[in-house]
Chain A
């Protein structure tokens, strides 16, 4: 599949008309804004930081401070996330575009700091043109943070439901790559039971991953497309 087709699939997977979790949260006022800020920091701060580190704006300050400044600025704009929803873009692409323009705003106020290639690269829209190494790195960071957040969410949910040992089985099997016989031995269970426990915990993890994609605008009917699009973008 070429990059244009992937882009089309990504757009089809994101539904400009649905009421997203982010817009619903922002409508709740201060507490909702805090929730959105926490979500953006947990899932997107690291990929955005990767983008700043790879850009020609390293002179502008600590990358994570720039990311904080960017998110605070955009969260303060009433229509920023409404425009995102209308764009039909995955949130990660919308934020990277926004960060790119934020860096240009910083550069505009420091005209002497950028010269030659640096300015040229800042003028390029990251959502256009061929896939760059920087964008692959950003998408990989995004994939990692989504997976990590889903692990945290699923682990909490399993624990809350009294399925902590199921979650241990999942971790032993998927993180430590233990065969089921060893997972069963570690948990003092029969092999069939260990398989069942892992399968149940895996369903919680699957739900957590899918919930994160829906939260960030994916059409619930096309979450698979949104996941495949990120997997494709993160390939070198």
Chain B
């Protein structure tokens, strides 16, 4: 299929029936079953902090008893963070149960957050505005020092969004 240019004006779009307009407008609503919401539910449940620490260790390992120490270090390269993100995507696709899937999703978000916080770089195709909102939600739910990392990442995503030319 040849690439077709995206419409530049509303006039170039196919006509919209009220039903189609309504269906499309509903896509603007936030989804309650997005990965971040399920993740928040798990982190905020009983033993959530313990689950979080064991999930970080399972995905990123630990150093001197500190789960995910490498992820928290600004010295970790962008290439390494990209690799982790890809590995987490693969882990999520292969997950045999919800808990494994949530661990992989947590790893994915933390890798994206570390890239934003340490390198001001977006390593996901998601819009910066969406990443900013997602990371801010997570920042409010996880323990220190991760909440600091996620808050910084969220601020940097916001800054990248406002720098985006119209």
Contact = CB atoms under 8 A, between A and B. Distances in A.
Query: What DSSP secondary structure best describes chain A's contact surface?
Result: helix
Contacts of A174: 23-24, 27
Given A223-B30, A228-B29, 11 more contacts: A146-B25, A150-B24, A152-B7, A156-B8, A157-B127, A161-B125, A163-B125, A186-B1, A207-B130, A224-B30, A227-B28
A147 B26 CA distance: 10
6 closest Cβ contacts across the A-B interface? Answer: A209-B28, A155-B6, A148-B10, A144-B21, A207-B127, A147-B24
Nearest to A168: B4
A230 B29 CA distance: 12
Contacts of B129: 207, 211
A158 B23 CA distance: 21
11 contacts: A144-B18, A157-B127, A158-B6, A164-B6, A174-B24, A203-B126, A209-B27, A223-B28, A223-B30, A228-B29, A231-B22
Interface of A: 42, 140, 143-152, 155-159, 161, 163-168, 174-175, 186-188, 200, 202-207, 209-211, 213, 223-224, 227-228, 230-231, 234
Query: What DSSP secondary structure best describes chain B's contact surface?
Result: loop
A156 B21 CA distance: 19
Contacts of A149: 10
A209 B8 CA distance: 16
A66 to B, nearest CB: 21
A203 B25 contact: no
B5 interface: yes
Contacts of A188: 1
B9 interface: yes
A141 to B, nearest CB: 9
B130 A224 contact: no
Contacts of B30: 206, 223-224
Interface of B: 1, 3-10, 13-14, 16, 18, 20-30, 125-127, 129-130
Contacts of B126: 200, 203
B87 to A, nearest CB: 17
B15 to A, nearest CB: 9
Contacts of A211: 129
A143 B27 CA distance: 13
Given A148-B16, A159-B5, A224-B30, A209 B10 contact: no
Contacts of B5: 159, 164
B29 to A, nearest CB: 5
B133 to A, nearest CB: 9
B127 A227 contact: no
A149 B139 CA distance: 33
Contact of A209 (B14, B18, B25, B130): B25
B6 A159 contact: yes
A230 B22 CA distance: 9
B37 to A, nearest CB: 13
Contacts of B130: 203, 206-207
A155 B3 CA distance: 13
A183 B9 CA distance: 24
A125 to B, nearest CB: 25
A164 B127 contact: no
A56 to B, nearest CB: 25
A167 B26 contact: no
A203 B138 CA distance: 19
A144 B29 CA distance: 16
Nearest to A225: B29
B25 A168 contact: no
A207 B16 CA distance: 20
A187 B8 contact: no
B27 A140 contact: no
A41 B8 CA distance: 15
